[in-house]
């Protein structure tokens, strides 16, 4: 589709201003977190895909607690870190949450056999830190020089060489997760299961029902085991209910 002469002379369209009510709700949830200048919004209007969506504001939280406050406010949030996706999940016309700027920590543990990483750390940076110990992370996506751990985990990235034994799911030991309700759970804590049942009973019960339904159906077990015996990082990880 070609532009008219008038459109061409006018240049790029200026994005519509953000909804003041939305910005007020953000400010009430976490004061000072919003970046709503046109330059901020246009700078995050695209990722590595062909989609172009201008957010109403870019939100820059500094902690899991601030992310939880945004969740509790019931705001329409899209999370973005490295922006290397080819599928458009790093752009939004609503509120875009930048999980890269303040979440870049890397802590090597146990002589390099484990590493604690925040979601904004670039995969290549993590592997560079581990190289001194003769180790690296399992997943090796082609975008490892730019993609971040948050996206790697969210997409269960694998890569060309890690097969089924070293994809993200097999590499991951635990996570600190912020649920849509704003509840924060450290899955590596000894009381993680009890905390989930106490704070999110409906979610915990639903997961247990789904687990029991799968395990109680031999045909479901057979199909899931067959599907995840080959390289497969798409869809829901129902194999986790069998491990």
**How confident is the model over 96-147, as pLDDT tens digits?**
999 999 999 999 999 999 999 999 999 999 999 999 999 999 998 888 999 9
pLDDT at residue 6 in the model: 55
Rounded mean pLDDT, 50-78: 94
Tell whether the model's pLDDT for residue 12 goes beyond 60.
no
Written as six digits, the tokens of 185 are 């759970």
Pinpoint the residues of the chain covered by CATH 3.30.465: 106-242
Residue 233 has φ and ψ, to the nearest 5°, of -125, 20
Q: Which CATH number is correct for 5-98, 3.50.50.60, 3.40.50.300, 3.30.43.10, 3.30.540.10?
A: 3.30.43.10
Could you tell me which of 124, 23, 120 has the C-alpha nearest to residue 75? Answer: 23
Distance CA 43, CA 38 (A): 8
Pinpoint the residues of the chain covered by CATH 3.30.43.10: 5-98
> To the nearest 5 percent, what fractions of the chain are helix, strand and coil?
40, 15, 50
Residue 138 has φ and ψ, to the nearest 5°, of -70, -55
- pLDDT tens sequence across 159-182: 888 878 888 888 999 999 999 999
> Which CATH number does 106-242 carry?
3.30.465
Could you tell me which of 87, 116, 127, 119 has the C-alpha nearest to residue 103? Answer: 119
pTM confidence score: 0.84
CA distances from 228 to 127, 210, 223, 237, 238 (A): 26, 18, 9, 9, 9
With bands split at pLDDT 50, 70 and 90, how would you rate the model's confidence at 3? low
Tell whether the model's pLDDT for residue 8 goes beyond 80.
no
Please list, in sequence order, all residues whose beta carbon lies within 8 angstroms of the beta carbon of residue 13, skipping any fewer than 6 positions away: none
pLDDT at residue 122 in the model: 96
Contact (CB, 8 A) for 72 and 182: yes
């Amino acid at each position: 589709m070609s532009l008219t002469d008038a459109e061409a002379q006018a240049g790029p369209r200026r994005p519509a201003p953000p909804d003041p009510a939305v910005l007020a709700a953000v400010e009430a949830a976490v004061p000072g977190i919003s970046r709503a200048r046109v330059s901020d919004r246009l700078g995050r209007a695209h990722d590595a895909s062909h989609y172009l969506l201008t957010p109403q504001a870019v939100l820059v939280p500094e902690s899991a607690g601030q992310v939880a406050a945004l969740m509790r406010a019931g705001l329409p949030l899209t999370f973005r870190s490295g922006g290397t996706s080819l599928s458009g999940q790093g752009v939004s016309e609503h509120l875009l949450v930048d999980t890269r700027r303040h979440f870049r920590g890397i802590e090597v543990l146990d002589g390099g056999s484990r590493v604690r990483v925040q979601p904004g750390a670039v995969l290549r940076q993590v592997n560079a830190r581990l190289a001194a110990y003769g180790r690296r992370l399992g997943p090796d996506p082609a975008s490892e020089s730019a993609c971040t751990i948050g996206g790697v985990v969210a997409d269960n990235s694998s890569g060309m060489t890690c097969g089924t034994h070293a994809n993200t799911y097999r590499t991951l030991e635990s996570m600190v997760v912020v649920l849509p309700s704003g509840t924060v759970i450290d899955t590596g804590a000894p009381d993680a299961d009890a905390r989930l049942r106490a704070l999110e009973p409906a979610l915990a019960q639903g997961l247990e029902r789904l687990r029991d339904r799968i395990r109680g159906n031999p045909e479901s077990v057979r199909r899931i085991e067959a599907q995840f015996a080959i390289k497969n990082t798409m869809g829901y990880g129902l194999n986790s209910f069998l491990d």
